[in-house]
Amino acid sequence: MPQALPPVRLGDQEPHAVDLLAVLDAAFARAAERCRSGVRESDYVLAGRRVRLRLAGKTLAQRIAEPFAHVRMTPVQAMAASPCLTIDLWDERETGIRAAVETAANDFKVTLPTAGGAFAVSPDGRLIGYRIRQTVAWLDRKAERIVGSVECADELSLHERGKPLQVLLSVWHADQGTHVVHAGLVADNGNGVLLAGKGGTGKSTSTLACVSAGFTYVGEDCIGLADRRGHAFVGHSLYSSTWLEPADVARFPLLAPHAVPATHPEERKSLILLSRAVGLQFARAVLIRAVALPRVVAAAESRIRPASKHEALFALAPSSLLEMVPRPGARGLERLADLVERVPAYWLEMGRDLGRIPHCVREMLATATLS
């Protein structure tokens, strides 16, 4: 079962950790030299911090960078700050360089299953190793670096393409004081609405209905939640990706042309990278003014009604605390409890008319502003 990670002890220098990083650094350097297409280097904003992404491999550069395209920095913006996190990845097949870290990985004492993969934690909590299908990568929490490889970028699963390095980025976000939660986030005139709920409640549908109607997109599935020290909560964007059942894709004409069909037998849904769609608005972060709890009802019209703090926490907590890998632990629960205590929550009862959902969310924002 997933568990919370210990805080990293920055003074530790375990020999096997240093050796592992040296092996990975050397492998990436060799891959960069042998990459015919060159190394693609670009900068992004995650959790309000500059992140540098270096990718060795032509297809890899497209597949891994695309979900972050909406938070990419311009060259002028990138000059204003040094990277807080560096990510180095290479394509093993294109470069001919394979990762050889199995011996070091065997020294790690905690190995936990994830969906389609596993991750390992060093005894001091400094290093996190992550393996899922084609991807193997390691996060050094002290140096704030991720290094890893992909066996073949052409064979990445939709999960790897839509949420690259999800586990490692969740850990890094938590180290920045920003906890990743399972929720959607849209904004109207800079005012954000967090859409919470487990799978099947209508969270994705309501998020995409709002985005298609002109709302600003921040996230659909993974949101970084940060507390502005008692004043407000900020939601940070991670990925511009969403998944829809093939039968539901047609309900969103603006997004349907960009649907990527499943490539593995166990994948039922199509991947949609919203950054491909023309005319959508994106934000790296917004203030959260309201929490919406979507649920499908047997009615023609959609409507809103107030929700209690208990109802809001119950909608947010299960998927954000129990299903995330690794688990956020007590600090994550405290963050969610503070959120629902200070931000008004509403039920979003979704009827058959999807066009009414954006109107309901605007009504929710207007009511929250007045309260």
Q: Give the pLDDT confidence score for residue 54 in this predicted structure.
A: 97
- Give the domain CATH number at 321: 3.40.50
Which of 138, 159, 175 is at the close of a domain?
175
Residue 18 has pLDDT above 90, yes or no: no
How far is the C-alpha of 290 from the C-alpha of 272, rounded, in Å? 26
CB 148 within 8 A of CB 136: yes
Q: Give the pLDDT confidence score for residue 4 in this predicted structure.
A: 46
Residue 100: band (very low, low, confident or very high) from pLDDT cuts 50, 70, 90: low
Residue 217 has pLDDT above 70, yes or no: yes
- Do β-strands 145-150 and 179-188 pair in parallel, antiparallel, or remain unpaired? unpaired
Q: Which long-range contacts (CB under 8 A, 24 or more apart) does 96-100 make?
A: 96/34, 97/27, 97/30, 97/31, 97/34, 97/149, 98/27, 98/149, 99/24, 99/27, 99/136, 99/148, 99/149, 100/23, 100/27
> Is 5 contained in some domain?
no
User: Which position has the token pair 């060093």?
Assistant: 122
- State the average pLDDT over residues 130-138: 88
- Portion of the chain with pLDDT greater than 90, in percent: 57
- State the average pLDDT over residues 98-104: 59
Per-position DSSP letters for 183-217, written without gaps between them:
EEEEEETTEEEEEE--TTSSHHHHHHHHHHTTPEE
State residue 108 phi and psi, 5-degree precision: -80, 140
β partners of residue 253: none
| Structural domain of 242 | 179-370
What's the Cα-to-Cα distance from 261 to each of 160, 208, 247, 253, 277, rounded to whole Å? 14, 18, 12, 16, 16
Q: Give the pLDDT confidence score for residue 13 in this predicted structure.
A: 45
* Domain count across the chain: 2
pLDDT in tens, 40-51: 999 999 999 999
- Portion of the chain with pLDDT greater than 70, in percent: 87
How far is the C-alpha of 365 from the C-alpha of 289, rounded, in Å? 7
Residue 185 has pLDDT above 80, yes or no: yes
> Is 8 contained in some domain?
no
Q: Give the pLDDT confidence score for residue 1 in this predicted structure.
A: 33
CB 185 within 8 A of CB 286: yes
Selection from 213, 190, 206 nearest residue 284 by Cα: 190
User: Which position has the token pair 């097949």?
Assistant: 93
CB 165 within 8 A of CB 87: yes
> Is 7 contained in some domain?
no
Residue 3 has pLDDT above 70, yes or no: no
Which of 175, 208, 228 is at the close of a domain?
175
Residue 112 has pLDDT above 60, yes or no: no
Residue 215 has pLDDT above 90, yes or no: yes
- State the average pLDDT over residues 42-68: 96
Note whether 347 and 230 are same-domain residues. Answer: yes
- State the average pLDDT over residues 123-135: 85
Q: Give the pLDDT confidence score for residue 113 in this predicted structure.
A: 56
Residue 202: band (very low, low, confident or very high) from pLDDT cuts 50, 70, 90: confident
pLDDT in tens, 321-367: 766 666 677 777 888 999 999 999 999 999 888 889 999 999 999 99
Residue 39 has pLDDT above 60, yes or no: yes
Q: Give the pLDDT confidence score for residue 110 in this predicted structure.
A: 55
CB 340 within 8 A of CB 313: yes
> Is 108 contained in some domain?
yes
Residue 124: band (very low, low, confident or very high) from pLDDT cuts 50, 70, 90: confident
Residue 96: band (very low, low, confident or very high) from pLDDT cuts 50, 70, 90: very high
Note whether 209 and 303 are same-domain residues. Answer: yes
Which of 175, 207, 224 is at the close of a domain?
175
Query: What number of CA atoms fall less than 13 Å from residue 363's CA on the CB side?
Result: 14
Under DSSP, the state recorded for 70 is G
